[in-house]
Structure 1
Amino acid sequence: MSERSLHLSLPTATPSMASAVIKGTRKIRVFPKNEPYLLELIRQHRRAYNLAVACFKESDARPELRKSEEMKKTVLRGIIREFVRDEVIDRGGEFASAGCDEAVLNAFRTRYAVIERRKKGEAADFAFRSIKDVRQGFLIQKLSPSFVLKNFDVSEKLPKEAFKKLTRIVHERGRWFICAQKHITTAQNAETQGLRVVAIDPGVRSFATSYTDDHCTTYGDGFYASKVFPLLLEIDKLIGLRARARNDQWKKHYQKRIDRKVNRAKDLINDLHKRVAFDLVSQFDVVLLPSFETQEMASKVERKIRTKTVRSMLGLAHYRFELHLKWMCKKYGKRLVICNESYTSKTRSWDGVIHSSLGGAKMISDGNIRVDRDHNGARGIMLRALYGNLGHEQAVGAT
């Protein structure tokens, strides 16, 4: 096989994306200097948001209230601000009126989004924010350097464009983050002729397998079993200890240990996603990625895979990887094609025979030739592309 013999020409309808400067968000780890004060801001933000949502729910039940004076944005914001201020003063806290106003405005933005979805015929409703939510946060109308220096030690320097902008402060499983705005320059798409193409086959034993014209690469072979699964066993044990604990202090102790283990597992998966995505966009111009329908495969109704396999599949977070790969392709001017992988791993790529009873076998064979199943699946996805059965292309990189 000659070098670069599997170069594809994408449809001419695919637009060529020019370089552009876009607004992005960088999640920066920070360490609080006065955590009780920040938790109080989260509490006030959650309370104001929930009060606004309660008003919206009541207006849905009573249509005559929708156009009343009290449902106007400025009026409702003032009413909720006074209500929350009285509650904070009664418990001896420090009231932040700007944060309360931003919570109400955020609730109105949610309301507009719900209305738009309902106009399209989609099911949409309001939801209250719970104190038990894993991800909590509040909004700062205009982030200032003085606020950051007063309340946080930062792990890295914040971008200049992050200041004087609406910013979200997030508290998630014991860790704090600033979601700082950042200007990112995207690369221009390459020409559509003679592109370097790679086909990706997502998996469970190995995270992903890539197939190109000259080699096959396996990413994360045994990664989940050796790195992530032991952490999940420890988490299961800690959850059992927390359930049996009778003292609230011990429950909090176990919850903190659970959060640390969950953060560790999630960080490992995210690191794998970033490494694989960067490797793909730095070497190839077009990435063929199948739509890995984990939700349908994990459903208990007529499920044909084991619970352990389902847990491994969900733990590897293939959909989150797809979202990250979309962003990387947009940033570096590459193309991502979402295609169909039906029967690619069960079909022998050298003669087209389908193994309907292959099950969970690691290898696929016709009696003479034995091929790794993941390699065979990735090659099958590439062959589908060669025959023009791409599914649908997503013009990643569009502004």
Structure 2
Amino acid sequence: MRTVDLIHRKRDGEELAPEEIQYLVDSYTRGDIPDYQMSAFLMAVYYSGMSDREVSAMTELMMNSGTLLDLSSIPGLKVDKHSTGGVGDKTSLIAAPIAAAAGVTVPMISGRALGHTGGTLDKLESIPGFRTDLTIDEFKGLLAEHKLAFIGQTDEIAPADGKLYALRDATATVESIPLIASSIMSKKLAVGLDALVLDVKVGSGAFMKKQVDARRLAQMMVGIGRRLDKRVQALITDMSQPLGYAIGNALEVMEVSQTLQNAGPSDLTRISLELAARMIFLAKLTKTLDEAREVSQSRLLDGSGYRKLKDVIAAQGGNPQVLDRFDLLPNATGAQEITTARGGYVSAIDAELIGQASSLIGAGRNTKEDSIDPAVGVILEVKVGQKIDPGSILCRIYYTDEEHLEEAAESVEDAFKISQQPVDERDLILEVVS
């Protein structure tokens, strides 16, 4: 079996057999296939797609490429939440503590920044001392004690996906629906989940630009879960503008703290509460989804979700006081205001351009070797539909290095569109797939 032949066939749209996919996955994981050949295969998949049989085979192969966690010793159903990625998307750090405070066991395996979107691990690691490189035993111990723990991809959990995940980011193949589906489901199911809530983003700031593609991805992942006897629900949510106001790792941790104290942006709060409610419902802690929504709301209002996140930060080596004292987080050395010369109504904020600007100043990665500056990012001062006057501040760019500041500022300025007519807000939750 030759790698180049498999690349050739996939390039031409042929279906590969499970044993051929196994050869590719196993050989690349061992280091027998170089990056340049696997990059060519990923690009072939990007253009030619994969059948349901291929996606299922790839998911199971990556899932079984490492240790499968056995969490049966921990009482209750294990439920996680995953987002396909967006700009300003910090819902995991809000929904997971709320669900855990309600009694759900949440084994959260999280990813890093991909393309113009932020990663949950990068946000957590902006907290001084916070450890995501847990051993499996540490992870299980934290789950048993706190019902919530955050862990990154390890050499033990779906190592095949770990290598492919990094390569996709550097080869412009992040947006491939089959690759997204198999990547997400392989690492999620490897940690012993009973159920999973998916937040599939659609819009300028998401990998899926069209709702039909988001629906296809959601259906593909729900189908994988069904075939593996897992309960999976997917929300399709709007990412045409950034979620919340903060974009950038430490800046988003600050907004998480505000939201868990019921002082956050309405869009971020609404989606986080709905995700938490569905986690509670899939954990069978309530009889109906409406009851789960009431529980989710109460765990926000009584502060137990906020306290849960502080407890987990402390348990994983971080300083929980960062949620009260933002000066303990990394802070940028400079800020630049972006203003408007026109008055009117904000008709659009292109989330992708905002995300790209944040990446330019160091909040994201351009190659898999890049490091991230946790202090930098963008804070919006307005949202779509808001009335503004000439000279109004649209946002602030927080930076530590001026090298790409001018380019980032141009990207941000291009992101805002002003209309003379009032603009209706878009629905946040567009569809549910289950």
Query: Do they fold alike, i.e. is TM over 0.5?
Result: no
Mark the structure with the bigger radius of gyration: 1
TM-score by length of 1: 0.30
